[in-house]
Structure 1
Amino acid sequence: MLSLTIQQKWINRKLVNRDTMFLAICLSRSTLAWNNSDECQYIKQSKVPTMHFQPSLPRLPIPKLEDTANRYLNAQRPILNNDQLNTTISYVNKFLSDEGLMLNKALLEENKKNKHTSYITEPWFDMYLKDRKPLPINYNPFLVFTQESSDNNQLVKITNLIVSSLRFMKSLRAGILEPEVYHLNPKKSDTELFRTITNLVPSSLSWYAAYLFKAFPLDMSQYHNLFNSTRLPELGKDRIYQNTSEKHIVVSRRGHFYAFNVLDEAGYIHPPKEIAACLKSILDDNRPINIHSVGVLTASERDFWCRARYHLIDIGNRDVLKKIDSALFMVNLDDDVMQDNKSKLIRNFLHSDAINRWFDKSFSIICTKDGYAGINFEHSWGDGVAVLRYFQDVKKDITEKPWFHPHDIENLKANNSDIHRIEFVLDTKAKGIIAEESKKYKQRTQNLAVDYLIIEGFGKNECKSFNVSPDAIMQLAFQLAFYMQEGHMVPTYESCSTAAFKHGRTETIRPVTLETKAVCSALTDKNSKLSTAEIKNMIVACSKAHSNLTKNAAMGQGFDRHLFALKNLCQRLNKPLPDIFKDKSYEYINHNILSTSTLSSSAVMAGGFGPVVDDGYGIGYMIQDKLLGSIVTSYQDKRSASDYIKNLDEAFKTINKVMLHK
């Protein structure tokens, strides 16, 4: 899912001179007329076609059953007592000698018949789409762009974000967006030579050519669902809907919805000043807040929203809903001012009051009155890799190539003629449903606690000087903070992308190891006789163990997805569930009290998500060269995010003190 940065000074040091560059580019761009040229219409013009590597991507491997069993037991050891562990071991041994063999054989056979995809794709989609919980907090994450220091006028910011998003979309659809590639050694592979050679190699062999450069192309199958896409509520299981023929966006403000075309009939992007004129008209609309905003219903339990939607269709809103569903993307213009209130900012982008949102859209661009901008995205269609690529490319484009400037506002006239007001037909029943759901949503969000932590002077550089993994240190700190708070280890989830494989999604890293447990025990035991040097060596060992887990997960060699697929197959075959899946310990390890995820980027100012279980913590984190940060969420009737943050602060200081020991 996400990483985060919280303050502007976290921006990559390479961007120090950005303001000067930004001003110079603005002046040059202001003299360049918008037209249908490639320079205006496309964000990227890659030598290598976007999907060039897709046909030759390796398939996501299915681990050996014995390896999965061993990894599963290793993850259980630090969180179970001896009696629980012995019971689980007996279930695992039975699974390995009986039902597991049959299920794994069936899974392998099914996988052979579906070489176009991965074994996890369909069950993982179903996992998301069948869940009936509301999307905000439970599933939809958010990301906030780093602020421009030169100008953050709302109209200027959102116009440029829309134009750059369209330029990204057109590049993607034209196949000229540069393929997503992980360069193990960028100096050797992120070069023109690499692009020239791999472009000459047929797509069916292109991955192997990249591999010779120690570069690893990533799956891009999710990218097409970024645009014209939405998640439709249906009874029992939702559906992803897409209509790529539409050329409009939908803009919401004060709970009112508007639509206007941003592409012409030939598919060219409308001039930025025309887009800005439409936005100005919306910003000038002085209608009061719509207390019966249908957007609130997208924050509801999914079956409830489905039934409410059926009612809306029955009373004459089919075309209105279709207009929203088929939009290229959603834009939310907020009247709120964030200033320096980070908690308010986090809440606004994570959940808000839902009046000015439509959480079903693949993503929504949100922009506040004072120019804080970011996205809230629906998670079923894809993962953080696709979203972050879009996010970073758009950020770079609005920084280096803004097409609309503050001085352009002077002679701008509002354009009402090209805007379609989306007016819902609402009867007494519909208004009552919206009012009731608004109350429920307010109660739910008021129960959510949000806090954050910034640790300066201790970051990636220092961790590397200690010869430890920065991510391992973060994960150790999360464990130590909880251990300080409650005195034991709990199931923990860390997201790891498997995008190196065709249709890969994610695998789970299980950061709770015997090594982390030993460190937590040593650092909290006042009677411990271990020296600081010994504990430091234990932290290094902890880092090595975590790095091995991360490597395995990235290569599709975790255990969570394999067991998930086997259980799913068993249910589809209507077979009795093996004891391993009925074991309380299996249920326990999947009840992730600590759910953690990172997407480190200098383009991201803040990002996070809600707890995945009622009594857990949602932890979005970032790792910068000289800074570490976390956003933590919890339900305050179960856990205290603020208490956890205090312990996390102490955990970082404790670990740093140990690592500084000579």
Structure 2
Amino acid sequence: MSRYKILPKLPVPALSDTLDRFLTAMKPLTTQTQHSQLIKSTNSFSKREGVYLQNRLLTFAEETDNWASRVWVDTRYLSNRDSLLFTNGKTTLKTRLKWSTHKEMLLAISQHLFSMVRLMETIRDERLPQEMIGRVPQSMSQYIRLVGGYRVPKPKIDTQVFSPHSKHIIVMYAGRIYRMPVYNPADGNKSLSVEEMYQLLSQVMSSGSEETQSHAPVSLLTALDRDSWSSAREQLIQDSSINASSLREIETSLFGLCIDECTNGDDNEIPKMQRFGDIRENFKFYNRWFGLGLLTVFTQNGYKTWISDHALLDGVVPYFFDTLPEPGISFDDTKRINSSLNVEQIKWELSQKSLLNLENAEKQMINWYSDYDVCNVDVKSFGRDLIKNYGVYFHGFIQLAIQLAYYKLYNQLTASYQTVSMRSFREGRLEHPITVSEDMKTFVESMTTSSQSDRERWRLMLRATNTYKLLLSETSGGHVFVKHLQALRYLAEKENLSVDLFHNSHFELFIEPKLAISSVFTSVPFLGTIPLTNGHFIGYSSTPNHIILTLTTILSRTSVTSTQLCREIVSSLFEMKDILTSQAHTALEDSKL
């Protein structure tokens, strides 16, 4: 992390460049009349409020390490009032761990915890190896926020607190929460061994299997919208000093561990269960505490999941966890264990108001679970190598297929973004450039009419994917057009300055697109994602020989299910692949003549 200070600060784009990019992105999504009106609005803005806000942003950029990341965290995450069920980051791994007995499961989890604690120490002490892309160092600042990071619910906008030197974690099992030490105060605060962690996890499992009258799944409250959880949290504190102490133990923990009952289900149901937690008896045994920087989830039938708070870290979560070794199952049965180490169950004293809040949270979760729609598919017929071998930019190929599928279902294109890492800049996170283009529109329309030949469609495909590639390259170089407009609106709101452009429906579409697309480079064959509030979230990863897609949607807010869109994307991928292979071969033969 020592190279962090030498990273350049993210530049502020010229106002004219950003407004040009906005108009370019909106052109394929608007009629000629609408686009003419947008041109007038942007010209007016550039000559009036835009000049003032641009100067304010330049000053703000001088005072911060990364103006875009600061605005992004405040506007996209901390001030977002939706439930963290729909805004938290998540990576789900389908690879099942190998255990056949209860003991082997606890040993595997103990080994994982041991590795986690060691990794947390490495990050906290700034010993994590510097990440590089080529010769360019990448910002490591996000990692440190995961160590003891917590998002506290507050009215209107949340706050973040950090406890990097915490000596305990919280463990959730059967709807109960336990404080588990991971350092031994009697041994100079040395981190616990695998055997000691196994002993403590055994206590949790034994205690959690006992019937008690005091059980209440208080963690359900954390899944409410942020204002409701903020109010419910204040009520808990008013109820009893015991609750205040319990909240303090949770909010200052190093990270969280969840152990769920067996989650049987198909590929579409498993990621829902892993995100929502133990759903037995309508969430009476809930095992999630949203707001923690990191939750590690194990299911008793061998699935492993991580849920991270997006306000703390985004874009690099899969890489972070790929550094962890797979949990082992061997340990020393003869090793003497410190008998003074114990877990403590977190206690609650709930008033009638808090019990009513909990009842409402249970009802809300039942509704949300049925509303959360997931579709996963593994296209095994071809992967990125085939596309690249024909000279087509793979990520652009995926984007075209998604837009083509969307067009077939909605009879129109829509704004979409593709995540781009900005970690080559100080405090860099992600940019989300709007990737739809006139070239993309022309290609999609050619695929839905019989008047175009496959040869012409192939040429249009190449042009559209090259335009897309150029946009991503431009963005990674620091031209963060979306963040720029977000920052200008953020500053206008701070000063109660009303700007007509910011209330335009097309501006809203530019800032909040209907399609969010994220690629993940990971060696694991399963990716779980989170839905947009009003649209579809599409995550994809690839190997040389296959493509993995995961779609999530909130059913009550769209007219198309994840399964419908997923089916059309796969169909579009094969249509485009057939054109690519046939026309590329024809072009090769022509070149030989």
Q: CA 1:409 to 1:632, structure 2 compared with 1: closer, same or farther past 3 Å?
A: farther
Contact 2:315 2:430 in 1 (8 A): no
Q: Point out the more displaced range, 96-105 or 531-540.
A: 96-105
Residue 591 of structure 2 corresponds to none
The aligned amino acid for 1:253 is Y
The aligned amino acid for 2:296 is I
SS at match of 2:447: helix
Q: 1:621 aligns with which of 528, 540, 547?
A: 540
1:356-412 Cα shifts (integer Å, max 9, x gaps): 100110010000011211111111122122x23321111xx23xxx5x525757999
What is the CA–CA distance in structure 1 between the aligned matches of 2:227 and 2:4, rounded to whole Å?
36
Q: CA 1:124 to 1:591, structure 2 compared with 1: closer, same or farther past 3 Å?
A: closer
Q: CA 1:444 to 1:291, structure 2 compared with 1: closer, same or farther past 3 Å?
A: farther
Quote the offset at 1:291 in angstroms. 6.6
Contact 1:618 1:633 in 2 (8 A): yes
What is the CA–CA distance in structure 2 between the aligned matches of 1:591 and 1:103, rounded to whole Å?
21
Quote the offset at 1:173 in angstroms. 2.1
Residue 570 (structure 1) aligned with residue 492 (structure 2): yes
Residue 486 of structure 1 corresponds to 410
Residue 145 of structure 1 corresponds to 93
Residue 507 of structure 2 corresponds to 586
Residue 376 of structure 1 corresponds to 307
What is the CA–CA distance in structure 1 between the aligned matches of 2:573 and 2:398, rounded to whole Å?
8
Q: CA 1:432 to 1:605, structure 2 compared with 1: closer, same or farther past 3 Å?
A: same
Q: 2:79 aligns with which of 105, 123, 130?
A: 130
How many residue pairs get aligned? The number is: 565
Contact 1:498 1:504 in 2 (8 A): yes
The aligned amino acid for 1:287 is E
What is the CA–CA distance in structure 1 between the aligned matches of 2:123 and 2:578, rounded to whole Å?
48
What is the CA–CA distance in structure 1 between the aligned matches of 2:334 and 2:172, rounded to whole Å?
24
Quote the offset at 1:261 in angstroms. 0.9
Residue 217 of structure 1 corresponds to 137
Residue 273 of structure 1 corresponds to 195
SS at match of 1:103: helix
What is the CA–CA distance in structure 1 between the aligned matches of 2:509 and 2:2, rounded to whole Å?
43
Q: 1:287 aligns with which of 200, 203, 210?
A: 210
SS at match of 1:606: coil
Structure 2 counterparts to residues 21-36 of structure 1, below 5 A:
none
Task: Using the aligned pairs only, state the percent identity.
Answer: 24
Q: CA 1:382 to 1:309, structure 2 compared with 1: closer, same or farther past 3 Å?
A: same
Q: CA 1:284 to 1:415, structure 2 compared with 1: closer, same or farther past 3 Å?
A: farther
Q: 1:644 aligns with which of 555, 559, 565?
A: 565
Contact 1:350 1:608 in 2 (8 A): no
1:620-657 Cα shifts (integer Å, max 9, x gaps): 11122111111111122333111111111111110111
What is the CA–CA distance in structure 2 between the aligned matches of 1:305 and 1:645, rounded to whole Å?
34
Q: 1:111 aligns with which of 55, 61, 72?
A: 61
**Unaligned segments of structure 1, at least 5 residues:** 1-50, 184-214
1:501-559 Cα shifts (integer Å, max 9, x gaps): 0112221122211111111111111x32x221221111111111111111122122131
Residue 42 of structure 1 corresponds to none
Q: 1:81 aligns with which of 7, 31, 35?
A: 31
Residue 333 of structure 1 corresponds to 259
Question: How large is the RMSD of aligned CA atoms in angstroms?
Answer: 2.2
**Unaligned segments of structure 2, at least 5 residues:** 586-593
What is the CA–CA distance in structure 1 between the aligned matches of 2:197 and 2:443, rounded to whole Å?
57
User: TM-score, normalised to structure 2's length?
Assistant: 0.91
What is the CA–CA distance in structure 1 between the aligned matches of 2:525 and 2:255, rounded to whole Å?
20
The aligned amino acid for 1:335 is E
Q: CA 1:651 to 1:415, structure 2 compared with 1: closer, same or farther past 3 Å?
A: farther
SS at match of 1:143: strand
Q: CA 1:393 to 1:561, structure 2 compared with 1: closer, same or farther past 3 Å?
A: same
Quote the offset at 1:601 in angstroms. 0.6
Q: 2:7 aligns with which of 34, 57, 82?
A: 57
The aligned amino acid for 2:309 is E
Quote the offset at 1:154 in angstroms. 2.6
What is the CA–CA distance in structure 2 between the aligned matches of 1:652 and 1:288, rounded to whole Å?
52
Quote the offset at 1:413 in angstroms. 9.0
Residue 254 of structure 1 corresponds to 174
Contact 1:159 1:272 in 2 (8 A): yes
Residue 519 (structure 1) aligned with residue 438 (structure 2): no
Residue 184 of structure 2 corresponds to 264
Quote the offset at 1:419 in angstroms. 0.9
SS at match of 1:77: helix
1:180-218 Cα shifts (integer Å, max 9, x gaps): 2112xxxxxxxxxxxxxxxxxxxxxxxxxxxxxxx1111
Q: 2:153 aligns with which of 219, 224, 233?
A: 233
What is the CA–CA distance in structure 2 between the aligned matches of 1:345 and 1:267, rounded to whole Å?
38
Q: 1:606 aligns with which of 527, 545, 553?
A: 527
Quote the offset at 1:605 in angstroms. 2.9
SS at match of 1:553: helix
Contact 1:281 1:415 in 2 (8 A): no
SS at match of 1:328: coil
Contact 2:297 2:304 in 1 (8 A): yes
Structure 2 counterparts to residues 153-552 of structure 1, below 5 A:
153-183=104-134, 215-265=135-185, 266-285=188-207, 286-288=209-211, 292-316=216-240, 317-338=243-264, 341-352=266-277, 353=279, 355-385=286-316, 387-394=317-324, 397-398=325-326, 404-406=328-330, 418-525=342-449, 527-528=450-451, 530-552=452-474
Q: CA 1:242 to 1:631, structure 2 compared with 1: closer, same or farther past 3 Å?
A: same
What is the CA–CA distance in structure 2 between the aligned matches of 1:260 and 1:553, rounded to whole Å?
44
Residue 554 of structure 2 corresponds to 635
Contact 2:9 2:426 in 1 (8 A): yes
Contact 1:141 1:607 in 2 (8 A): no
Residue 589 of structure 2 corresponds to none
Contact 1:123 1:568 in 2 (8 A): yes
Residue 70 of structure 1 corresponds to 20
1:237-265 Cα shifts (integer Å, max 9, x gaps): 11111123320110000110111211234
Q: CA 1:408 to 1:384, structure 2 compared with 1: closer, same or farther past 3 Å?
A: farther
Q: Structure 1 stretches (4+) deviating beyond 3 angstroms?
A: 148-153, 288-291, 406-417
Q: CA 1:441 to 1:158, structure 2 compared with 1: closer, same or farther past 3 Å?
A: same
Structure with higher RCO (Cα < 8 A, 6+ apart):
1
Quote the offset at 1:151 in angstroms. 4.1
The aligned amino acid for 2:74 is D
What is the CA–CA distance in structure 2 between the aligned matches of 1:653 and 1:412, rounded to whole Å?
60
Q: CA 1:269 to 1:416, structure 2 compared with 1: closer, same or farther past 3 Å?
A: closer
What is the CA–CA distance in structure 2 between the aligned matches of 1:296 and 1:546, rounded to whole Å?
42
What is the CA–CA distance in structure 2 between the aligned matches of 1:336 and 1:439, rounded to whole Å?
23
The aligned amino acid for 2:410 is E
Quote the offset at 1:109 in angstroms. 2.5
Quote the offset at 1:351 in angstroms. 2.5
Contact 2:195 2:335 in 1 (8 A): no
Contact 2:294 2:307 in 1 (8 A): yes
